[in-house]
Structure 1
Amino acid sequence: MNATTAQSTETAFESFEADWQEWHAAHERHRAHPHGFLAVTHLHWLGPEPAALDGVPGTWSAVNDLVTVVLEPGETLELEQQAFPAGETVIGPIAERGGLNLSSGQTVIELAKRGGEYIVRPRNPENALLRGYQGTPAYSPDAAYAVRGTYVPFEVPRPTAVGAAVEGIQHVYEAPGEIRFKLAGQELALTAFNGHAPGSLLVLFTDQTSGKTTYAANRSLSMVPAADGAVELDFNRAVNLPCAYTDLATCPLPPAENRLPVPIEAGEKIPYERQDQQ
């Protein structure tokens, strides 16, 4: 390698590392949002009998895909800055994996449907998990873990049932295809789900670092395939799901075929908050 080539390679790596550092800092800011999942104080499952919930005003119940909230005089609850009246308010139905954010003072109250059931999760910026958050450890960026792959659509999208971090519920995702790639000398594939942004894909996976240096249950990686199916899997941007930090999450687990037989020594590691539990 001549001096010019060496300098070009060094410059490319510096740019790769700087891009990762910028992405990682932005992701950490998002995670530490005052009403993000680190602010969740309780997880309540609604049933047919009205019940008072810790951290939330009113009494709550769910029957026939509708949620009923009953407020006493002096209790406050708002949706999009519109205050609920005292007495009974009916909300719903809400789509699976959908949700609404209500508010009461400085608390944001997530009302959502997970595994066919309604949940209520208050989020308070004074929650100890958020206030004590130290950031998430991660592997140093390594360009060897940014690999090219090919997105191969299925003839028909496949409903794919997966388990959850909370026992007793199951998530069903529509898998539009799989991503094929090569890493560590092996031909590999990951079943992909539709991502949050239009045209994006999301993969949930474990690998041979899971339960050792990375969180045991899952990590996720997002990507956008090109029109010809070409896709970059940058495992340096593999991130933890909320269940890596709190037991108040209902995160999906990877499908069985996404348990990779190679170590992915890239991306986020076990959070400090969980390191004594692995």
Structure 2
Amino acid sequence: MKHLLLFIAVLGLSCKQKKKYHDVEKQNEIVQQDTLVNSVLHWQGKLNKEYANPETSPLPDRYRKDFESLDFFKPDVNYIVIADLERTPEAIPFMMPTTTGRKSKEVVYGILTFVLQGEKHQLEVYQNRKLMLEEGYRDYLFLPFTDESNGEETYAGGRYIDLRIPEGNKMQIDFNKAYNPYCVYNKKYSCPIVPSVNNLNVKVLAGVKSFQSDNK
């Protein structure tokens, strides 16, 4: 009887420890998600300040004077993915077309492979040959993409994401930080046209929505 009680006590302690471990694991997951959401909200606030500032805003005066905020999707951690980066050091620079006929000299820095909405996808990520020589942009990467939301919830021509060269072969892509090309707001800007290879056959309901003046 004494041994039975001891066994039950040990079993109960084991269950409590297991429950405690899972509670901590779940708590850590919640904290991590909160951190990711706060990062997105911080980015949104920073972008709004940029668009409200006449020195940095792409908005014409007629839109900026009443500007309060861009229209964002609600932050969603399901649109934050970890991609495998396959570098392409032998890639030959090419001229990427823009909305004004000007061309931007880019090189495919690598191929990003990731899973989004249960499906595997690939996107090319680019490095601008001129920008990479400027201080503060030497590790800058440019990720333009189109998806099934274009022309409905988002801008028809696709959106951009800014990235930085990682140390390893993994890269986080946060689609909550996808933004519209400047030419969406002001036709004086020359914006790179998203290469057809960078189309996602899913709806990316994250980041900046279509600008309200698109239909004006």
Matching of residue 241 in structure 1 with residue 181 in structure 2: yes
Unaligned runs of 5+ in 2: 1-18, 132-136
Of 173, 181, 184 in structure 1, the residue corresponding to residue 106 of structure 2 is: 173
**Alpha-carbon distance, 1:3 to partner:** 5.2
Q: How many Å separate the matches in 2 of 1:149 and 1:186? A: 13
> 3-state DSSP class of the match of 1:177?
strand
Partner amino acid for 2:167?
A
Aligned to 1:145: 79
Of 171, 186, 190 in structure 1, the residue corresponding to residue 123 of structure 2 is: 190
Q: How many Å separate the matches in 2 of 1:181 and 1:129? A: 37
Q: How many residues align?
A: 189
Aligned to 2:58: 38
Matching of residue 260 in structure 1 with residue 200 in structure 2: yes
Using structure 2 for the length normalisation, give the TM-score.
0.77
Larger Rg: 2
Aligned to 2:63: 129
Aligned to 2:96: 162
Q: How many Å separate the matches in 1 of 2:69 and 2:189? A: 18
Matching of residue 23 in structure 1 with residue 49 in structure 2: no
Partner amino acid for 2:170?
A
> 3-state DSSP class of the match of 1:157?
coil
Matching of residue 10 in structure 1 with residue 43 in structure 2: no
- Cα contact 1:156–1:176 (8 A) shared by 2: no
- Taking the TM superposition and a 5 Å limit, the aligned residue runs for 1:40-79 are none
Q: How many Å separate the matches in 2 of 1:187 and 1:37? A: 36
Matching of residue 214 in structure 1 with residue 148 in structure 2: no
As a proportion of its length, which structure holds more helix?
2
Unaligned runs of 5+ in 1: 41-126
- Cα contact 2:108–2:126 (8 A) shared by 1: yes
Q: How many Å separate the matches in 2 of 1:10 and 1:171? A: 42
**Alpha-carbon distance, 1:200 to partner:** 2.7
As a proportion of its length, which structure holds more strand?
1
> Higher RCO, 1 or 2 (CA under 8 Å, sep at least 6)?
2
Residue-by-residue CA offset, 1:235-256 (whole Å, 9 max, x unaligned): 1111112012122211011111
Q: 1:12 to 1:29 in 2, by over 3 A?
A: same
Residue-by-residue CA offset, 1:81-136 (whole Å, 9 max, x unaligned): xxxxxxxxxxxxxxxxxxxxxxxxxxxxxxxxxxxxxxxxxxxxxx2232132321
Partner amino acid for 1:136?
L
Q: How many Å separate the matches in 1 of 2:92 and 2:205? A: 30
Q: How many Å separate the matches in 1 of 2:195 and 2:58? A: 26
Of 136, 139, 145 in structure 2, the residue corresponding to residue 199 of structure 1 is: 139
Q: 1:16 to 1:227 in 2, by over 3 A?
A: closer
Using structure 1 for the length normalisation, give the TM-score.
0.61
